[in-house]
Structures are given as C-alpha cells and as structure tokens.
C-alpha cells in the first residue's frame, strides 16, 4: 500500500475528473488523500479517500463574458489562499503521514511543489483540459490581458522562494507550467498541437466512470421525437436570457429539452410548455446516452461524456479556455461552436439540427469516441500512477522537482 496526495483547484471541473482515478487507485490497494476546499470534500470522501479540508474564500467567475483579467484575478486570489491557508494546512496534516507521490493540477502548483520540496517526494502534474509544453501554452491564450495579476503572482512566488533561501534562478523553473511526468485526462487528438507532446505526457482519453451506482436513470418522454441536453456548467452559468432562448428555440418540431441550470438557479416562472424540463443539477451520465445532442459551454468533462456516448456537440463558450476548446470542436468536425454574442433561438436550433443530421459530423464523433476508448481512461491512468509510485523521476526533471541526489528545501 502506497500513499498518494491530490491537490486540485476548488472547482467541480477540477475535482470531478480525478474521482474515478482515485477509485481505481483505491481498488489497487493504495491510499489517497485530497487537500480540498471543505465545500467539495464530500465528493472526494465518497470515493473512499481521506480529505484534508480547508475553508476557501474564492469567488466564482460570475456572469457575462469572462476575460483573461478575470481569470488572472482569480488566480492571484487562489495563490494568496495557497500561501496563507492551503500550504500551512498541508504541512501540518501530513507531518506524520508523508505521501509517496503527489498529483496536482496547474492551479495548485504552489502548494504541491513546495510540499514536494519539503518532503522530497516525486510529483505528477494532471491536466483536466489542454496540456502545456514548450510549443503550446494554454495559459498564453487564457491569460491574455491579465498582465498585472500575473506579474503580481510572479512577484509573490519570487518573494516567497527568496525568503526560504532559494536563489533568484529558482523562480522561473518553479513556475514552469508542466512537469517531467504529466497525466492528461483527455485524448491526444483533442490537444492543440498534440503532435508536439512527447513521452513525458500520458494522454489517457477520459476520466469517466463506466458505472455510477445509485444515480438513477433518465429517459425522454414517449412523445418526444428528439431530445437535447443543454448546460453552461457550474462556474459561469448565470445567463437566464440564454436559457429562455433555449425554450424558444425548441418549442416546436418534436424536440424535448433538458436544461441543467446550476445550483439555486431554478426560475420562479418556469416555461409553461411541456417540451422543457428544468433541473438545478442532474447526473449527466444518465441523460447523455438518451439524447441526440449536447449543448454546453465547453467544459471538458461534459464534452468528453458526450463523445463517450457518441453524441455531437454545440459549444457556446464564455471564457478564453472554453473558446480554445470550441475551436478544437470546429477543427475536428465533431460539432459547432456559436459565440455567445452570435447565439439566437434560430441559430441555436439550426446548429443542433445540423450536428444531429450531418453524416460527416456523426462519423467524426464516432471516430473521436474510438480515441477516447483506445487511450485507456481511468484504468490506464491508475496503472501509470501505480508504476510511478515505484519509479523515481527522470534525472532531467525540472530543477524545482526533488529527485535522486537532491537535498530538499526545508519549508515547514
């Protein structure tokens, strides 16, 4: 039995993709401990993992178009929280139970890498979205316009490392957006410039559970000729005008529409027509197999779930990261992307009609599904982690990463 620590940003889109990997690691006999926002602790604990929780003050990105400045501001806020709350809580909680391996996402780099240095333990960076290497950087697209916030992040990390006795040369390697071992929870085919990613990156296709016991079932009404699931996720979903537009778009033609609005978002005056059903939240894996298309914001888990069940996509992206994924959907020919400012009831209906009837889109969706399955999913990811638990990091690991012969920096 070995011990794995997991550090992820406190958001559903970051936590959920790790859960099936955790279940599989537990089935292999390992222990898993999350360091996680207390509001998300129950999800992780339900897998059987231990959770070290902390209170987070981070805000949602909110409504409207999300800019790089918005994301940069959120990143700066979370970095400060990691410095003041998460890292001290981590070092205290693991003092007598140091993990053997650290899994972390990009946003959690500060806590994970400092803990790795303190414990002299190997690390693996996870991506639940597009990965970064020397050729391609998602951050350069996502953080466009966030210069002041990013600059302050760099200053804070530099000040922290200097106070711990690190040389100025340690700063930029510490800020590197990838590791010497990287686990990408999506297919290589979906990765921008995927051909440039070498064997430091393991693309495992998806992170979806094959079965989720106790989650129920869903079937469309008998009178529905076709059906569609529409969601804007959990982060930037405050768009009642968009959901009203969906009601209008599918008011005729035999469509049944499932709208997942988000927590505490049900309207006081729901649509009167029987063609729409509203949910704050519904298990998507029960709905997606039984609809004809999925309309979403380009959340990676939602897109991969649609492809896993051979469903075409219509993407309405509100953030820079979502626009990158929407562009990939168009390039791969597995759906359509409509910018929020271009969406009308007619254009949305036309896009859904197109993706459900175009034989070339359907062929490409089926091909993408084959890639998802072929890359192994959570089972392959868990077996890779199992191997890494017994395999020391490469000798040419980034200089911040502890490896054979390195003396760890004491930060506790």
Nearest-angstrom CA–CA distance, 78 and 146: 15
Q: Please provide the average confidence, as pLDDT, over all residues in the chain.
A: 87
Q: What confidence tier does 195 reach under pLDDT thresholds 50, 70, 90?
A: very high
Contact 334, 340 (CB under 8 A): no
Q: What is the pLDDT of residues 319-341, one digit of tens each?
A: 888 899 999 999 999 999 999 88
pLDDT at 412: 27
Mean pLDDT of 53-63: 74
pLDDT at 293: 97
Identify the burial level of 210 via C-beta atoms within 10 angstroms of its C-beta, where 0-12 means exposed, 13-18 middle and 19 or more buried. exposed
Cβ count within 10 A of residue 3? 17
- CATH of region 226-373: 3.40.50.2000
Nearest-angstrom CA–CA distance, 101 and 47: 19
Contact 388, 181 (CB under 8 A): yes
Mean pLDDT of 346-366: 97
What pTM value is reported for the model? 0.90
47-76 burial by CB neighbour count: b if 16+ within 10 A, else e?
bebebbbbebeeeebeeeebbbbbbbbbbb
Mean pLDDT of 367-396: 89
Identify the burial level of 264 via C-beta atoms within 10 angstroms of its C-beta, where 0-12 means exposed, 13-18 middle and 19 or more buried. exposed
Instruction: Give the position of tokens 């296709």.
Output: 205
3-state secondary structure of 104: strand
**CATH 3.40.50.2000 intervals, the chain:** 3-206+376-388, 226-373
Nearest-angstrom CA–CA distance, 391 and 333: 39
Asked if the model's pLDDT at residue 226 lies above 50, the reply is yes
Mean pLDDT of 394-408: 50
Mean pLDDT of 62-66: 62
Asked if the model's pLDDT at residue 1 lies above 60, the reply is yes
The side-by-side arrangement of strands in the sheet containing 335-337 is 276-279, 255-260, 226-231, 293-296, 313-315, 335-337
Please provide the DSSP assignment of 384-401 as one string: HHHHHTTSPPPTT--TTS
pLDDT at 337: 97
Higher local confidence (pLDDT), 75 or 392: 75
- Residue 259 pairs with which residues in a beta bridge? 230, 278
Asked if the model's pLDDT at residue 35 lies above 90, the reply is yes
Nearest-angstrom CA–CA distance, 384 and 367: 25
Instruction: Name, in order, each residue with C-beta under 8 angstroms of 13's C-beta and a sequence gap of 6 or more.
Output: 128, 233, 234, 235, 299, 300, 301
Contact 22, 6 (CB under 8 A): yes
- Residue 54 pairs with which residues in a beta bridge? 37
Cβ count within 10 A of residue 270? 12
Higher local confidence (pLDDT), 393 or 260: 260
Asked if the model's pLDDT at residue 146 lies above 80, the reply is no
Higher local confidence (pLDDT), 335 or 211: 335
Nearest-angstrom CA–CA distance, 138 and 186: 14
| C-beta contacts of 147-150 below 8 A and 24+ residues apart | 147/72, 148/69, 148/72, 149/69, 149/72, 149/73, 149/75, 149/76, 150/72, 150/75, 150/76
Nearest-angstrom CA–CA distance, 73 and 63: 15
Domain 3-206+376-388 sits in CATH 3.20.20.70:
no
Contact 81, 111 (CB under 8 A): no
Short-list 262, 258, 349, 344, CA closest to 299: 262
Question: CA of 76: how far to CAs of 59, 147, 162, in Å?
Answer: 12, 11, 19
Asked if the model's pLDDT at residue 384 lies above 90, the reply is yes
Q: What is the pLDDT of residues 241-297, one digit of tens each?
A: 788 888 889 988 789 999 988 765 555 565 656 788 888 888 888 999 999 999 999
Short-list 348, 354, 336, 351, CA closest to 243: 348
Structure-derived torsion over alpha carbons of residues 390, 44, 114, 67, reported in degrees to the nearest 10? 120
Asked if the model's pLDDT at residue 403 lies above 60, the reply is no
Short-list 315, 233, 228, 217, CA closest to 275: 228
Contact 375, 203 (CB under 8 A): yes
């Amino acid at each position: 039995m070995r011990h794995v620590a997991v550090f992820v940003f406190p958001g559903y889109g970051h936590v959920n993709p790790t859960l099936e990997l955790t279940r599989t690691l537990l089935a292999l006999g390992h222990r898993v401990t999350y360091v996680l926002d207390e509001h998300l602790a129950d999800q992780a604990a339900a897998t059987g993992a231990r959770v070290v929780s902390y209170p987070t003050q981070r805000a949602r990105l909110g409504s409207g178009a999300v800019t790089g400045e918005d994301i940069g501001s959120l990143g700066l806020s979370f970095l400060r929280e990691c410095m003041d709350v998460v890292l001290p809580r981590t070092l205290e909680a693991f003092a007598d139970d140091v993990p053997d391996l650290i899994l972390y996402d990009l946003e959690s780099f500060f806590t994970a890498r400092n803990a790795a240095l303190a414990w002299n333990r190997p690390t693996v960076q996870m991506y639940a979205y597009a990965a970064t290497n020397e050729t391609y950087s998602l951050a350069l697209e996502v953080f466009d316009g966030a210069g002041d916030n990013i600059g302050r992040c760099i200053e804070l990390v530099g000040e922290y490392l200097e106070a711990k006795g690190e040389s100025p040369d340690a700063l930029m390697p510490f800020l590197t957006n990838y590791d010497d071992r990287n686990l990408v929870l999506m297919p290589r085919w979906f990765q921008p410039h995927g051909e440039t990613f070498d064997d430091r990156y393991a693309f495992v296709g998806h992170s979806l559970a094959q079965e989720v016991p106790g989650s129920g079932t869903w079937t469309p009404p008998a009178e529905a000729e076709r059906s569609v699931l529409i969601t804007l996720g959990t982060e930037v979903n405050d768009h009642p005008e968009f959901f009203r537009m969906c009601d209008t778009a599918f008011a005729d033609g035999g469509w049944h529409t499932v709208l997942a609005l988000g927590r505490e978002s049900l309207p006081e005056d729901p649509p009167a027509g029987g063609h729409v059903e509203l949910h704050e939240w519904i298990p998507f894996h029960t709905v997606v197999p039984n609809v004809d298309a999925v309309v979403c914001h380009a959340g990676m888990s939602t897109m991969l779930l649609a492809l896993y069940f051979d469903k075409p996509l219509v993407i309405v992206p509100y953030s820079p990261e979502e626009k990158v994924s929407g562009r990939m959907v168009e390039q791969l020919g597995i759906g359509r992307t409509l910018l929020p400012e271009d969406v009308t009831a007619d254009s949305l209906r036309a896009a859904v009609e197109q993706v459900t009837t175009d034989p070339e889109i359907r062929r490409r969706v089926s091909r993408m599904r084959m890639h998802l399955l072929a890359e192994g999913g959570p089972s392959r990811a868990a077996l890779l982690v199992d191997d890494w638990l017994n395999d020391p990091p490469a000798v040419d690991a980034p200089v911040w990463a502890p490896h054979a012969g390195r003396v760890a920096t004491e930060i506790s």
